[in-house]
């Protein structure tokens, strides 16, 4: 099993350290800043070997070069983002496999937030590192991709096993849940989840990771077939893609 260490940076960004205990190989996912990662490495004694970037936005890659210089690690990211990801060594695409010691991650192309967005699926651990594609009760804005691309990407994630843990890159859950309640206020799973989320945030505790089973039950971006959401949007019987696109449009204005 992977050792996973979650680091909060810049108020609401999550950076993840992943270590294969058998070999000591260690990756960092989306290092927004180098200093907190270096401090965590010093505390744990872990030796960084990989940087796994999900996409090229600055709040996911700004620590790349300093970490690479300090540790000699290799940077992995989308071939499509070549030139935009600092220090990129290994260019990846759909279906590639990244070895982290004895552990492996399947690379999933999940465009929508950006054209080159990737997710890393550690099947043995049921752990998905999905950057800004899927959030707890939300999904990323369309900042380069299309609604159709994002819906298709979310569909690929939605098909993963129920027990998959969603390690997204931001603590946006409470705000996402407030929006979700405007669309589906009579969803008992959503109401109960929001009570838990509010309690966690009052205590300064993270709401991430979440399970995919929980996301399917409460995340409006995975629920375009919900009769209540369709009715709220005035789209009864509409195709899922159309319901998703309208949900994303309303969230942008929320």
Per-residue pLDDT tens digits for 149-175: 999 999 999 999 999 999 999 999 999
Q: Report how far Cα 28 is from the mean position of its chain's Cα atoms.
A: 14
What is the 8-class DSSP label of residue 161? -
Helices (H), 91-236: 147-158, 173-183, 188-202, 212-218, 227-233
pLDDT band at 148 (very low <50, low <70, confident <90, very high): very high
Q: At what angle do helices 147-158 and 240-252 cross, to 10 degrees?
A: 110
What is the 8-class DSSP label of residue 13? E
Q: Name the 3-class secondary structure at 77.
A: strand
> Distance (Å, rounded) from C-alpha 18 to C-alpha 42?
15
Per-residue pLDDT tens digits for 49-90: 999 999 999 999 999 999 999 999 999 999 999 999 999 999
Would you list which residues are annotated within the binding site for Zn(2+)? 55, 57, 59-60, 113, 132, 170
> Distance (Å, rounded) from C-alpha 76 to C-alpha 62?
14
Active-site annotation, residues: 55, 57, 59-60, 113, 132, 170
Please tell me the pTM assigned to this model.
0.97
Would you list which residues are annotated within the binding site? 55, 57, 59-60, 113, 132, 170
Q: At what angle do helices 240-252 and 173-183 cross, to 10 degrees?
A: 120
What is the 8-class DSSP label of residue 112? S
- Classify each residue of 137-166 as buried b or exposed e, where b means 16 or more C-beta atoms within 10 Å of its C-beta: bbbbebebbebebbbbbbeebbebeeebbb
Per-residue pLDDT tens digits for 1-35: 999 999 999 999 999 999 999 999 999 999 999 99
| Chain length of the chain | 254
Pairing of strands 25-29, 88-92: unpaired
């Amino acid at each position: 099993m992977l050792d996973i260490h979650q680091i909060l940076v810049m108020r609401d960004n999550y950076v993840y350290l992943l270590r294969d205990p058998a070999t000591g190989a260690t990756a960092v996912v989306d290092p927004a800043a180098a200093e907190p990662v270096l401090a965590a490495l010093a505390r744990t004694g872990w030796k960084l070997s990989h940087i796994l970037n999900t996409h090229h936005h600055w709040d996911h890659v700004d620590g790349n070069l300093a970490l690479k210089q300090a540790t000699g690690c290799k940077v992995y990211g989308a071939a499509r983002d070549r030139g935009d990801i600092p220090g990129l060594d290994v260019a990846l695409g759909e279906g590639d496999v990244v070895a982290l010691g004895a552990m492996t991650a399947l690379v999933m192309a999940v465009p929508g937030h950006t054209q080159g967005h990737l997710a890393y699926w550690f099947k043995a651990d049921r752990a998905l590192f999905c950057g800004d594609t899927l959030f707890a009760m939300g999904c990323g804005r369309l900042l380069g991709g299309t609604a159709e691309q994002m819906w298709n990407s979310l569909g690929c994630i939605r098909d993963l096993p129920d027990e998959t843990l969603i390690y997204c890159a931001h603590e946006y859950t409470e705000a996402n849940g407030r929006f979700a309640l405007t669309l589906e206020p009579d969803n008992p799973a959503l109401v109960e989840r929001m009570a838990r989320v509010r309690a966690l945030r009052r205590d300064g505790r993270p709401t991430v990771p979440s399970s995919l089973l929980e996301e399917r039950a409460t995340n409006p971006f995975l629920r375009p077939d919900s009769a209540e959401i369709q009715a709220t949007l005035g789209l009864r019987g509409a195709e899922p893609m159309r319901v998703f696109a309208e949900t994303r449009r309303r969230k942008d204005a929320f």
